[in-house]
Amino acid sequence: MTDGARTATRTGVRPREVATHCPYCALQCGMTLRATGDRVEVAPRDFPTNRGGLCQKGWTAAELLDHPERLTTPLLRDRPGAALRPAGWDEALDRIVAGLGAVRDRHGPDAVAVFGGGGLTNEKAYALGRFARVTLRTRHIDYNGRWCMSSAAAAGNRAFGVDRGLPFPLADLGRADTLLLVGANPAETMPPLMRHVTELRERGGRLIVVDPRATATARQADLHLQPLPGTDLAVANALLHVALTEGLVDRTYVAARTTGFDEVRRTVAGYWPAAVERLSGVPAADLEATARALATVDRAIILTARGAEQHAKGVDTVTAFVNLALALGLPGRPGSGYGCLTGQGNGQGGREHGQKADQLPGYRRIDDPAAREHVARVWGVDPATLPGPGVPAYQLLDSLGTPAGPRALLVFGSNPVVSAPRAARIESRLRDLDLLVVADLLRSETAELADVVLPVTQWAEEDGTMTNLEGRVLRRRALREPPVGVRSDLEILAALADRLPGATPLPSDPREVFEELRRASAGGPADYAGITWDRIDADTGVFWPCPDPDGPDHPRLFTDRFPTPDGLARFHPVAHRPAAEPVCADYPLHLTTGRVLAQYQSGTQTRRVSALRRAAPGGFVELHPDLAARLGVADGTPVRVVSRRGELRAPARLTPTIRPDTVFAPFHWPGAARANSVTNDALDPVSGMPEFKICAVRVEPA
């Protein structure tokens, strides 16, 4: 398609008002967009997740649509070291095709890699997986959601036979009698979710929070357990120990609906509350009170999030809390259960349909012959031509430019220069590539390294679907046409497929892509076959699995059986082990990382919104006043946080809400304040999750 032809398609009349969803987190708050003159206004919409609320990020989301730094033309780098220059679409696409061809001819199809994002629509995630495996025939595809949900996903799969962040509607939180939040701070990361927590507390329910920091969420809790970072697994085993010794286990449920409990019972026998208190710092009395609060009420919910999951033992840590939930008989019980708070906007759907290294659409395993046969039939290819599993995100990025690794990388919707652990190393790997292509709406830190940068549509300029943290499939609706010169990710993939020799054509219309996704997912764990855009439009979304267009969807899972061969949930014994990097004389403190209210992910978007920038202008390092006094550091003093991998520099922020042996830094900023310059790239052996949440550091005045 020529540049002139592309411009000519930007016609037609768009509505002046649409009902859609926020472009940020997995809560996917309902909002209404209105076009008034040359401005787009945002208004909250009464939707089951946000109930008419929005956070500051949602309120200001439209500011990026016409931002002066918005990309509206492709950019090319003529030679290494040269500046990026504007180019036409034909030149940019031809450059990509030539570069991909050269790499594939010299090194084979696996020398090309694709890296996606958890903010892409279902249609884009699906098309990206098909493009990698059918058009490029590479096994190397993964996405930044690997660093978000992979540990909880792996734990859910091995215990329940399926991974859905919340296997029940979010509204159940408000009806619970006890809610245990582990490593979650929704008051800052998902503020509208707190409306459900407020409902719980107004009904007399109890909120218990497990977090090394007294976060905005923890300060609202009835009980705050403040463990040493990296000891959550021991805390979970201690809670189950209390439940066993006090006769609080639901033995009827365990016998009827689970298997493997005896080995878990033997494992947790050694996790006496007093012993775990010495290990974690959580008082034994608080462990006992928490177990009783969960076990002696009609409705209890346990939720984990990144604080528990982003560890080299994240899968086992989540498994320990799943074991606790199963022992108390929570999963599948009305108003009770275990769930995980998905982070990114489409973190759930993004991993269901082909972006993950080991998965095909419908949450099928790529090494399953029946799954390969089904999906290959939909794609019109021989199953034998589909590549096998690739490697998880960090291993993929860390292999770039090496003799055995990919030499070309296409990035859609991610900024690993800021978001990857041991980020300086990954930045160096990206510089070693023969070809780096980045599709983004702004010049992210990763785009600044690219050979080709492609401008893409934003959320208010595209139609499609998203799947929120409940497994609820939603409609994203376009309010307006994108600026001239901007294309959607689907159009880019289709244009590249048209130019690559021998490639199968790809559809670029999102509705057509979704119809193909429905067929590809049919019969899989995440079955979308019965979901249509019209059905979504007629209600407040549709919950998967939904195999029949005329049949019901499934807001609640596990009510009768678990999707395992025998219908039973699996207990798995797990034991505490230390962090991958213990503290020592040279690095005597623990660093943990996380988010702040006014910023999001790598900050590519939110750092450019004026109101959010004023609210959170830059990085900082949170220190306890006692630690600061020992270091001779005052509030606002620039400090260096040094690990074995690098350092970050930012002002100190003194607060008594953090443990004296721990420091905290948010990860939204690049440059000197880049928290991921110091984080550990040790990986969970099952999920490939890096140990973002704990590493050994020293702090000193800068």
State how far the Cα of 557 lies from the Cα of 152, in Å rounded to an integer: 16
State how far the Cα of 644 lies from the Cα of 698, in Å rounded to an integer: 10
pTM of the model: 0.95
Q: What is the pLDDT of residue 503?
A: 87
589-701: CATH topology: Barwin-like endoglucanases (2.40.40)
Indicate if the pLDDT at residue 11 is higher than 80.
no
Does residue 372 contact residue 361 with C-beta atoms inside 8 Å? no
Identify the DSSP state of 140. Answer: -
Whole-angstrom CA distances from 486 to 75, 194, 439, 453 are 12, 37, 11, 12
Of residues 368, 379, 347, 357, the one with CA closest to residue 127 = 379
- Same topology, domains 166-341 and 589-701? Answer is no
Question: Residues with Cβ < 8 Å from 8, sequence gap 6 or more?
Answer: none
Indicate if the pLDDT at residue 539 is higher than 60.
yes
Q: What is the pLDDT of residue 343?
A: 85
Helix/strand/coil percent split, the chain, to 5: 35, 20, 45
Encode pLDDT of 122-172 as tens digits: 999 999 999 999 999 999 999 999 999 899 999 999 999 999 999 999 999
Q: What is the pLDDT of residue 5?
A: 31
Four-way CATH pick for 92-148+350-456+466-471+488-543: 3.30.300.30, 3.40.50.740, 3.40.720.10, 3.30.70.330? 3.40.50.740
Residue 3 binned pLDDT confidence (cut-offs 50, 70, 90): very low
State how far the Cα of 593 lies from the Cα of 571, in Å rounded to an integer: 30
Element (H, E) at 36: strand 30-36
Encode pLDDT of 278-293 as tens digits: 999 999 999 999 999 9
Encode pLDDT of 310-320 as tens digits: 999 999 999 99
Whole-angstrom CA distances from 102 to 56, 76, 651, 664 are 46, 17, 47, 45
Task: Name the more confident of 496 and 343.
Answer: 496
Give residue limits of the domains in the chain. 92-148+350-456+466-471+488-543, 166-341, 589-701
State how far the Cα of 270 lies from the Cα of 276, in Å rounded to an integer: 9
Indicate if the pLDDT at residue 7 is higher than 60.
no
Residue 13 binned pLDDT confidence (cut-offs 50, 70, 90): low
Crossing angle of the two packed helices 284-295 and 273-280, in degrees rounded to 10: 120
Edge-to-edge order in the sheet of strand 542-543 = 464-467, 472-476, 542-543
Residue 582 binned pLDDT confidence (cut-offs 50, 70, 90): very high
Whole-angstrom CA distances from 188 to 57, 184, 191, 694 are 11, 9, 6, 20
Indicate if the pLDDT at residue 502 is higher than 90.
no
CATH homologous superfamily of domain 166-341?
Answer: Dimethylsulfoxide Reductase, domain 2 (3.40.228.10)
Q: What is the pLDDT of residue 688?
A: 97
Encode pLDDT of 609-667 as tens digits: 999 999 999 999 999 999 999 999 999 999 999 999 999 999 999 999 999 999 999 99
Encode pLDDT of 410-443 as tens digits: 999 999 999 999 999 999 999 999 999 999 999 9
Indicate if the pLDDT at residue 10 is higher than 70.
no
Indicate if the pLDDT at residue 56 is higher than 60.
yes
Mean pLDDT in residue range 229-237: 98
Mean pLDDT in residue range 330-356: 94
CB-CB neighbours of 314 under 10 Å: 31
Does residue 117 contact residue 654 with C-beta atoms inside 8 Å? no
CB-CB neighbours of 556 under 10 Å: 17
Whole-angstrom CA distances from 574 to 213, 306, 346 are 25, 19, 30
Of residues 524, 592, 607, the one with CA closest to residue 352 = 524
Does residue 658 contact residue 548 with C-beta atoms inside 8 Å? no
CB-CB neighbours of 608 under 10 Å: 16
Question: Residues with Cβ < 8 Å from 654, sequence gap 6 or more?
Answer: 623, 624, 625, 628, 633, 634, 635
- Provide the H-helix boundaries in 634-686: none
